[in-house]
Amino acid sequence: MFDKYIIVTEGFRNTTTDGGTPDTVSGYELGIRLPYYRGLGLSMVESIDLIVDGTPVPAESLTLTVHGNSYAVTDLATVFDDRWEMGEIATLRVAQPGGLAPGSHDISVAQRLRISYMPVPGGGRDAKTLELPEL
């Protein structure tokens, strides 16, 4: 339904452990949205799959931050007291020492959502080419 809005084109960047020097790059992050017309409790987000330049990123290295609260993607099923609202941009952070090289990267995000009134899992997928700036 709102698949084309999952990946946010702004905010794709490498992350650092301290003041932002290239030798302290700890990973990278991008903004994502729900592909659903209502907000959902985080426990209803069954999976977030990320593929970067054709390579799947292990779920164990993903952290989702929603309105300042961060959760390991693998732990979302246990988060019963927080929600991700429709249109809200969450940050998907990847722990990867060295991050990504500056330049263009093909990004694909697929989400599997458990929606109470749907007999089959919902969700969506989006793919975009994003430009990673230099630090």
Query: What pLDDT tens digit does each residue of the chain (135 aa) get?
Result: 688 999 999 999 999 987 666 668 999 999 999 998 888 999 999 999 999 999 999 999 999 999 999 999 999 999 999 999 999 999 999 999 999 999 999 999 999 998 877 666 678 899 999 999 987
Predicted TM-score of the model (pTM): 0.91
Phi and psi torsions of 86, nearest 5°: -60, 130
Q: For residue 36, what pLDDT is reported? A: 85
Angle at 51 between CA 6 and CA 60, to 5 degrees: 100
Q: Classify strands 103-113 and 122-132 as parallel, antiparallel or unpaired.
A: antiparallel
Question: Do 8 and 50 touch, CB atoms closer than 8 A?
Answer: no
Burial 5-21 (b: 16+ CB within 10 A, else e): ebbbeeebbbbbeeeee
- Domain limits of the chain? 3-123
Q: For residue 115, what pLDDT is reported? A: 82
Question: Do 6 and 126 touch, CB atoms closer than 8 A?
Answer: yes
Q: For residue 134, what pLDDT is reported? A: 83
Closest CA to 106 of 90, 121, 88, 126: 126
Spatial separation of the C-alpha atoms in residues 106 and 52, rounded to whole Å: 6
